[in-house]
Amino acid sequence: MAAFKRISDMGDLSGKVALVRVDFNVPMSSGVVADDTRIRAAIPTIQALLAKDAKVVLMSHFGRPKGEVNPKMSLRPLVEPLEHALGEAVTFGEDTIGDPARKAVAGDTRVVLLENLRFHQGEEANDPAFAKALASLGDLYVNDAFSAAHRAHASTEGIAHILPSCAGETMAMELDALENALGSPQHPVVAIVGGAKVSSKLNVLTNLVEKVDHLIIGGGMANTFLFAKGIAIGASLAERDLADTAREIMVRADTHGCTIHLPTDGVATKEFAENAPHRITAVTDIREDEMILDVGPQTVDALNAVLGQAKTLVWNGPMGAFEMKPFDRATVALAVEAAKLTRAGSLLSVAGGGDTVSALSLAGVVGDFSHVSTAGGAFLEWMEGKVLPGIAALTQSDMRHE
């Protein structure tokens, strides 16, 4: 990953206005913030800038208003929880650009929150004029929204071409973790990739087999690979039409010295339901009317042994239908083992994606992993080896504003 500047690299910021792209696209319930995780994640960046005597102007999208003003998607309800998390007053800007924004920035408070970026079509269109209007409000640009870094929008990409730019504290922490996990990791590297469909993670699998030493495949995806190997998987969820693709990935893995680990036993049931009657059996002994909803204890023991030899772990996706007991056991068992190894200092563990975060929360180990990314699309595209526009713009900004 190319070098990027951090807040600490930006010199004297006294009297400067820092435009900070955050992701405040938070869940709401009856007009009130239901989960303030993303708000709290921005606090270290705000505090670091305030400590350098900068004024902080926060920019975010919320929902999909499609370039039109929609009062239901206003960021105004976030002012109070932001003030609570920050411990100081926050001014709300009635618009993202123009006089209302300038008036808010010119006020006495040290922190300003501007209205929803996506009320303007220029945001998602990455319109240069809109990016310029945003940039005119400040002296430097700080990107602290990794979860939006895969979007080439005016506030994530365009503005970085205009102002001196750097990564916020949370963004820098995320990029450091990702670099340590796949950019220049300590080997052996293990990747766990689960979830329902091979098709949704085809590029991830293709990229990972060239970078990791061990690839553990779980969830419905594992069934597709078992089917591709000629194993009868009964009524299990699988993309049988992707058998050739699965075989190609296995050949590619072999070529690059990557060992693919598939289940040897599974938890089989006849109905997709909580606490459905089930049995543990070899994957070669699945009946026609049965489906595999989790990997079995023999597989978990073998995979725990693989983790025990690893130095680095990248995890995206559950091993089974973890939302329903008892089909959460394998995911929880592996999460607990990875957490134990991380606490012991023998494993660097990086996990990301919505279902993965939910699974780690279920296991009670989110705080024990080296890094847990809440980013969905951005984390997945990073695992695919793609260049994220928001990150590329930051690294290129270094060169333009030297």
Tokens of 251: 């050949």
Q: Residue 68: helix, strand or coil by DSSP?
A: coil
Of 132, 197, 252, 270, the active-site residue reads: 197
98 noted as active-site residue:
no
Instruction: Report the distance separating Cα 114 and Cα 96, nearest Å.
Output: 5
354 noted as active-site residue:
yes
Contacts of 216 (CB under 8 A, 6+ apart): 190, 191, 192, 193, 261, 303, 306
317: left (phi over 0), alpha (psi -120 to 50) or beta: left
For the packed helices 329-343 and 354-363, what is the interaxial angle rounded to 10 degrees?
A: 80
The maximal CA–CA distance of the chain, rounded, in angstroms, is 71
Global pTM reads: 0.87
The 3 state secondary structure assigned to 132-151 is HHHHCCCCEEEECCHHHCCC
Helices assigned H by DSSP within 230-317: 243-255, 297-309
Rg over alpha carbons for the chain, rounded to the nearest Å, is: 23
Of 38, 55, 118, 211, the active-site residue reads: 38
Of 107, 257, 308, 354, the active-site residue reads: 354
Tens-of-pLDDT digits for all 402 residues of the chain? 557 899 999 999 999 999 999 999 988 888 889 888 899 999 999 999 999 999 999 999 999 999 999 999 999 999 999 999 999 999 999 999 999 999 999 999 999 999 999 999 999 999 999 999 999 999 999 999 998 999 999 999 999 999 999 999 999 998 998 888 888 899 999 999 998 888 888 889 999 999 999 999 999 999 999 999 999 999 999 999 999 999 999 999 999 999 999 999 999 999 999 999 999 999 999 999 999 999 999 999 999 999 999 999 999 999 999 999 999 999 999 999 999 999 999 999 999 887 888 899 989 999 999 999 878 788 888 888 888 899 888 887 544 444
Of 98, 234, 376, 377, the active-site residue reads: 377
Q: Round to the nearest angstrom and report the end-to-end CA distance of the chain.
A: 19
